[in-house]
């Protein structure tokens, strides 16, 4: 095979530039976070990731809407988050103003404005209707039993994440999509791809991402070929039946990818964050043990207190500026919506830093975002989470921590990587 020296040197130069950009970005974050005290940069550093709420409170004290060092805006305010999420003047994509720290992922619905968003969302929505949901309930209960039976038999200490929180949503979403049953492999691919949400950290990370992305695409290609040849009662077959006029193969592949990622990189964190909060306050855990029908309320409070998706962003698309709590947003400016901070806004929640499964105001949380991008899987997630918390309380009333919790690295998605428990 002939070696194209010019091409190789161009590639090497490109990689060199890419590496310099990544490391420069990390250095800038460290400088602005540590030296200049920039809160958004701090959220990306270890201390900020360990306790994002402390950073949010410092930001809240400075005002509801703050300028960012890249010329954008950020908000900790529930009212401003709602205003932006519900406004048609804001969108999720503006080719003229790429999102800061933009990632390598095609996030399908999450990265599309109307009318493409409207068209694709209409196609996917029927899969999440109450009728479909009823069908998934049995699937969820079976998956829970399959995971917890061996735990109950085998011993008293286990890592809740590896034994339960991770495999449960994977089992549910892979069955929904008609993917082969390979939880270990999918978990690895999912975790790798999700890590791109926080931006690329290093050349090694970029390579791992590239390989995971390729692996995922191959898996989807095989899935689409199988669904075309032998359609089943799964979501992929249903979506494929609409291919052509309504959805291209590329769009379909990205949508299935988003469902897979959204399906298990969020619910897993919600189970982990929830069990962590419940066990940290024995009284709250006992309330659930004494009355497992509280599981629905527990889900809402867990999502309010420590949401798996901590932040999102919108960009102003209109030429007319929009006022946000007295601050003017201009066309092309991004607004970082700190959903986790909005969920602890004292204007909406009484005693916001207290985890309380009996609070009356928990339903106001923004863990599933709002407006046209409101989480499509919210009903599925709520059902899955309630079933998970209920099952844990019924089977293991004496559940308690058994070692230090290790959190996963990342700013956008938040949850434990390891959560040792005993019963």
Residues that bind ligand HEM (CB under 6 A): 109-110, 121, 173, 258-259, 262-263, 266-267, 270, 307-309, 312, 367-369, 373, 375-377, 380-381
| Nearest position to ligand HEM, beta carbon | 377
- Of the pair 39, 415, the CB lying nearest ligand HEM is at 415
Residue 362 Cβ, how far from ligand HEM at the closest point, in Å?
Answer: 14
- Smallest distance, ligand HEM to C-beta of residue 224, A: 18
173 or 240: whose CB is closer to ligand HEM?
173
Please identify, using beta-carbon distances, which residue of 29 and 266 lies nearer to ligand HEM. Answer: 266
Nearer to ligand HEM, 262 or 288 (CB): 262
Residue (253 or 267) nearer to ligand HEM, CB: 267
Give least dist CB 379 to ligand HEM, A: 9
Q: Which is nearer to ligand HEM, 183 or 397 (CB)?
A: 183
Compute the least distance from the CB of residue 369 to ligand HEM, in Å.
3
At closest approach, how far in Å is the CB of 232 from ligand HEM? 17
Secondary structure of the chain in HEC code, one letter for each residue: CCCCHHHHHHHHHHHHHHHHHHHHHHHHHHHHHHHCCCHHHHHCCHHHHHCHHHHHHHHHHHCCEEECCCCCEEECCHHHHHHHHHCCCEECCCCCCCCCCCCCCCCHHHHCCCCHHHHHHHHHHHHHCHHHHHHHHHHHHHHHHHHHHHHHHHCCEEEHHHHHHCHHHHHHHHHHHCCCCCHHHHHHHHHHHHHHHHCCCCHHHHHHHHHHHHHHHHHHHHHHHHHHHCCCCCHHHHHHCCECCCECHHHHHHHHHHHHHHHHHCHHHHHHHHHHHHHHCHHHHHHHHHCHHHHHHHHHHHHHHCCCECCEEEEECCCCCEEECCEEECCCCEEEECHHHHCCCCCCCCCCCCCCCCCCCHHHCCCCCCHHHCCCCHHHHHHHHHHHHHHHHHHCCCCEECCCCEECCCCCECCEEECEEEC
Minimal distance in Å, beta carbon 109 to ligand HEM? 4
């Amino acid at each position: 095979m002939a070696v194209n020296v010019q091409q190789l040197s161009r590639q090497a130069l490109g990689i060199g530039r890419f590496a310099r950009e990544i490391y420069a970005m990390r250095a800038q974050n460290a400088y602005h976070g540590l030296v200049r005290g920039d809160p958004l940069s701090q959220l990306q550093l270890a201390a900020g990731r360990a306790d994002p709420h402390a950073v949010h409170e410092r930001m809240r004290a400075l005002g509801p809407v703050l300028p960012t060092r890249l010329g954008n805006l950020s908000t900790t305010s529930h009212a401003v988050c709602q205003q932006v999420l519900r406004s048609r003047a804001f969108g999720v994509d503006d080719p003229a103003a790429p999102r800061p720290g933009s990632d390598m992922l095609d996030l399908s619905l999450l990265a599309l404005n109307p009318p493409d968003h409207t068209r694709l969302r209409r196609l996917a929505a029927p899969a999440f209707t109450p009728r479909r949901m009823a069908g998934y309930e049995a699937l969820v209960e079976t998956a829970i039993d399959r995971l917890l039976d061996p735990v109950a038999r085998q011993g008293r200490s286990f890592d809740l994440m590896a034994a339960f929180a991770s495999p449960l949503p994977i089992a549910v979403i892979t069955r929904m999509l008609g993917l082969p049953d390979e939880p270990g492999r999918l978990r690895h691919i999912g975790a790798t791809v999700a890590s791109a949400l926080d931006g690329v950290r290093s050349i090694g990370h970029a390579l791992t991402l590239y390989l995971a992305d390729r692996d995922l695409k191959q898996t989807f290609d095989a899935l689409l070929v199988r669904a075309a040849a032998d359609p089943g009662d799964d979501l992929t077959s249903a979506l494929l039946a609409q291919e052509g006029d309504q959805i291209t193969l590329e769009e379909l592949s990205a949508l299935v990818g988003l469902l897979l990622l959204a399906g298990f990189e969020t619910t897993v964190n919600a189970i982990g964050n929830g069990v962590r909060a419940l066990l940290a306050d024995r009284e709250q855990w006992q309330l659930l043990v004494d009355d497992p029908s509280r599981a629905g309320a527990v889900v809402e409070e867990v999502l309010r207190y420590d949401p798996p998706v901590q932040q999102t962003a919108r960009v102003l698309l209109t030429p007319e500026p929009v006022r946000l709590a007295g601050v003017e947003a201009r066309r092309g400016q991004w607004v970082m919506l700190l959903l986790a901070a909005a969920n602890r806004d004292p204007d909406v929640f009484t005693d916001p830093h207290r985890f309380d499964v009996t609070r009356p105001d928990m339903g106001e949380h923004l863990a599933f975002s709002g407006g046209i991008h409101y989480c499509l899987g919210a009903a599925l997630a709520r059902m899955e989470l309630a079933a998970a918390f209920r099952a844990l309380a019924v089977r293991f009333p004496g559940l308690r921590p058994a070692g230090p919790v290790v959190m996963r690295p990342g700013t956008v998605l938040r949850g434990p990587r390891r959560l040792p428990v005993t019963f």
